[in-house]
Structures are given as structure tokens and as C-alpha cells.
Structure 1
């Protein structure tokens, strides 16, 4: 008899992991997902669409603690509950409905980077590796026993979106590899030592504000961590807001054409090129700068930046 599952899922990881369950012959009786927010940039795949293509019942409850949701899950009689980038914590009494366990796919190498947006935090903190972890769900977030992990590299110029694509593949590979053992009751349950990691909260668009007095590497990590399709790292010059969408850290000791003397931290123009000077004197070459104005973003050329900021006093 096929194992039955209820799947809580969203985003690309949700899409790919749902497809893995179906490919491995799991009977997915119910999919629980989110309604897309009209205020969010929806750049990722639709779990709801995949479920509907396979004739699976889909619900989108607002409250994971509601009696209606619990009744729907209980009616599905799942052996397993899976959570793949579902955005709400699931209550313990709901998890207990699954007779053979409840498991979550997290986008880091637990116990590191527990909590929200782990890929963005890993890039922001300058990590060189992250990954995906399938773990048992518990009362605390990302605290249950580790079932399997797959690491991926974070290269020096990777943006968070690039790393997230790797993590999505790692999640798919992790689930595909361990699912037969999980179904057979033979999967390992390894310790998740929380003393060796930290919990991180969610991030807001305002967290992308750049402090150019910081080290160039730290500024560059912020730019990479929130680059589009995320809201972006930004700086205000006078009354204008500029978002650095693409950039490259100038290597130590490299000559930057057109830069002479000691320039203050901030965005500058030289030889028809945009660059930022940071607190340690290193430069970041800006390859795409956008202006936010009246709810719209437009690409800004070096000449346009100079014109827009010509009346702003400089240190």
C-alpha cells in the first residue's frame, strides 16, 4: 500500500519536493499552501498549480491552528506530514496526526541558520557553504532530529537568488535520496545540536539600507544577499533613493580607473562609471543602479546619477 501524506508547501522548494513525493509513489492526499500576496513579487513556482495538475485537493487556510485545518488533515489520514517552505509553524497536535512522523525541509545545514530566510542570511554573513536539511518537526522551529542533508557551495559573487536555486536542487536531491529509507522506517535520526547554530528572524526591505562606512566586503555581502528578485540594497542620496542591483567587489590592490585622492564613503561617478567607496577604502563597481521614485524603478546611468545628485552637498 502506498504511504499517504499531507503536504504543506510553497515556493520553488515546495514545487520540487512535492514532485519528488509524487515521483516516488507517495499518495499525496492533501496539499496545504498559501494564497499569493498581491504585494509580493511572485518570481517562484506555484505549488497550487502543480497539485491541481495532479488532481490533488488544495486548501489555503490563513490560520495553521484552526479547527478546520486540523479536521481536514485528520480526514486525509496521513502516514506522513511534510512541510516544504510552508511559511507557518505547525502546532504539535497537528503534527501528531501523522502516524509515521512529520518532516520539514529547511534551507540550511542545520543547526546553522535556523529560522527565516536562511539563504539570505548565509550570503549576508559571508558563508562559503550552505545546503538543505530534512529534519523531524518539533515544537521549536528547525530543532528536530536531522534525517539527511546536502551541502552546496556559495561562490564569492553568488547572489542569494543564485544560492537559492542551488538549495532548491539540494532539497530535491535530499528528499529523493532519503525517502525510500524514510518510508521503510530505516532513515537515520541524527542529533540536531542547537548549541552549534543560531536562530535568525525574517528580514524587511528596510534591512537593505547600505552603510558605506562599513567594510567593502560587508557591503558587498548585503548587496548579494538582497539583490533582485529580493527588494535590493539601497542608499538615499538627498531625496533620491537608489538600489544597487548588480555589483562586483574590486579586488584588494586593484587600480580603479578614474579614482584619485581620498573620496568619502558613498556612491560616486568617474570615467562614466558608477562605483561605491566603503569605510575601509575599498571600492565596489556598480553594474546596475536603479532609482526608486513614485513606486517605480528605472535604471540610472552615470550621467543621470550625477544630474540627480548634483545639488546634494558632499563631505
Structure 2
């Protein structure tokens, strides 16, 4: 089939590479300009560079809604558009233009975790598995019929970076497998159960601010979800920003006020956590490594030279 590819960052790069290595003919690529957004500078393999290396025409767009792009698409005469990590709305006259419509590849197990940063949100929420879904695009974001879906297990110590590497490896087989079904003439795929759908927004600085009213188990997953190269989850100590680089759920149960710097346990320093910490039934978050406002990373036991005081949401 003649394929036009819409994509960005490493997800789009892996998709384009899979298409270039397949039996299909990539006739044009549409990608976004380079971005300075904190999350969009991560996993930023260039789709444009890969396309140009293979002699594929490239158009750079923030939004795919201009007449020049529409005319170029018509002239390219694609059988299908394949999209992965396209960051803005694709209008119906674009996604409906090819003979077989548009196949979108999304890194979640749809219908759950539609939208942005699905791996990070899924890890924070304690999901047991994540994955990649190829579905037919319609007017609702990430809502079309599922063509191929594959899952991988979330391990007890997996970080968001681990999950990225697990799922990015699924892009090629999911994409090529979905195209094989479509090329074979199949048109009936699996409708999404919209009663199970959830939609998530982009991550921002506010989303990595630690709230010590959260249970320690949730905070431990937040820290893992914000693993390098993502920005670390952070709190404030004595008025200065303090990043929590690594942490585990404490073995003991600790009572008192959320955010209290309380007790040395093993290699960590336990911070009291949970809205009902006053009951003494909660585990705390045993912080093991921190990074100061000056950028110094060190063991928490070296940073907290004495117990007492509080970690706070704001300076």
C-alpha cells in the first residue's frame, strides 16, 4: 500500500522505520517542528531526518489543516495514513482522505489512557500491564475501532523509562500487523467500549509536585514514573526545592502528620505519608536518594543529617 506517515519523536521514528522496512511504499511524511517542551525533548529521534535519509518528501506542520498540505496529500494519493504521536487534531477531511482511512498507533491499552503521557499515568495508577494499540481514526480522539493491540507486564520496580523501552518495541509488530489485516481487505475491527474510556492531559510541573497526603504506595509509583530522563518528582524542604530521585515504601508503619521527616530505616529516611497518617496505620515513603536545588544528588541519609521538620508542597 501507498502510505503517508504522520508522526513525531521516537514513537513516530520507530513507526516510520517499521514502514520503511515493510513491503509498503512510504510516499510522504508529515511531522512537527522541533520542540522545547520539557517532555517533547525526551525520546526525540527525528522523523524528518529519517525520512530525508530515505528520500521521502517531508512536510513540517504544527497543525494539519492548511490547503497546501491537503493538496500535497491528494497528489500523494495514499491508500492509508499511519499516525503515531501526532500532537494535534487531524480533521476529518485529512484522516478520511485515503482509501482505507487513517490508522493511529497509541501507546496504551485503549480505551483506557487515551490522550497524553499514558505510560506515566498508568504507572502512577498501579496498572498491571501497558501496551500499544493500532486503531482506525475517527472524529473522537483515540476512540476508533481496534485493529491490533498488544500488552506487556508492568514489573514491581519498573520505571516509566523501563515501560517506554518495553512498549516502543511493540510499535513495529503492531503497526505492520494492522496494515496486513487492512491490506488483506478486512474492514470489521473491534469497537472500543466507551464506558471504559479514560482521557489524560499532558504532564506539567504541577503534576510532579509531591502531595504528602497521598498514600506511600502511590508516591513510590510517582517517583518511579518520573525516572530519568523525565523530570523528577519534587517537594520542598526548608523553603527550597528538593527532588526525590528514588524511594521505596517503608517496612514499618508510621503515624503523625504527612510530610514529617521522621525516621531512618535501612538505606532511607522515612517521610510520613497519607491523609489519615494520624491513625498510625500507614506505611511511609522511605526516600533513598535526593537532588538539591543546586543540582547535587546524594543519598537521603547524607542529606537529612537530623530527623524532624517537614517536607511541604510549596516553599
CA distance in 2, matches of 1:40, 1:74: 35
Structure 1 contact 132–171 (Cα < 8 Å) conserved = yes
Match 1:265 to one of 258, 264, 278 = 258
Q: From the superposition, tell whether residues 133 and 272 of structure 1 become closer, same or farther in structure 2 (CA, over 3 Å).
A: closer
| Matched residue, 1:177 | 177
Q: From the superposition, tell whether residues 269 and 30 of structure 1 become closer, same or farther in structure 2 (CA, over 3 Å).
A: farther
CA distance in 1, matches of 2:59, 2:296: 38
Q: From the superposition, tell whether residues 248 and 183 of structure 1 become closer, same or farther in structure 2 (CA, over 3 Å).
A: same
Deviations 1:164-219 (A, max 9, x none): 22121122221233322222222641111111221222221211111122211111
Match 1:24 to one of 14, 18, 22 = 22
CA RMSD of aligned residues (A): 2.6
CA distance in 2, matches of 1:311, 1:249: 19
Structure 1 contact 242–289 (Cα < 8 Å) conserved = yes
TM value normalised by structure 2: 0.86
Matches for 1:89-238 after TM superposition, within 5 Å: 89-186=89-186, 188-238=188-238
Q: From the superposition, tell whether residues 240 and 69 of structure 1 become closer, same or farther in structure 2 (CA, over 3 Å).
A: same
CA distance in 2, matches of 1:162, 1:14: 19
Structure 1 contact 233–243 (Cα < 8 Å) conserved = yes
Aligned length: 302
| Matched residue, 1:285 | 286
**Offset at residue 119 of structure 1 (A):** 1.1
**Offset at residue 255 of structure 1 (A):** 5.3
**Offset at residue 122 of structure 1 (A):** 0.7
**Structure 1: unaligned runs, 5 residues or longer:** none
CA distance in 2, matches of 1:245, 1:314: 15
**Structure 2: unaligned runs, 5 residues or longer:** none
Q: From the superposition, tell whether residues 275 and 49 of structure 1 become closer, same or farther in structure 2 (CA, over 3 Å).
A: farther
Q: 274-283 vs 87-96, which deviates more?
A: 274-283
**Offset at residue 79 of structure 1 (A):** 0.9
Q: 199-208 vs 136-145, which deviates more?
A: 199-208
Matches for 1:28-107 after TM superposition, within 5 Å: 28-40=26-38, 42-44=41-43, 45-107=45-107
Match 1:9 to one of 7, 27, 30 = 7
Q: From the superposition, tell whether residues 314 and 67 of structure 1 become closer, same or farther in structure 2 (CA, over 3 Å).
A: closer
CA distance in 2, matches of 1:118, 1:166: 14
TM value normalised by structure 1: 0.86
CA distance in 1, matches of 2:234, 2:130: 26
Structure 1 contact 107–133 (Cα < 8 Å) conserved = yes
| Matched residue, 2:271 | 276
Structure 2 contact 32–60 (Cα < 8 Å) conserved = yes
**Offset at residue 313 of structure 1 (A):** 6.9
Q: From the superposition, tell whether residues 49 and 234 of structure 1 become closer, same or farther in structure 2 (CA, over 3 Å).
A: same
Deviations 1:261-307 (A, max 9, x none): 856433457387444332253133333311234xxx33144466337
**Offset at residue 247 of structure 1 (A):** 2.3
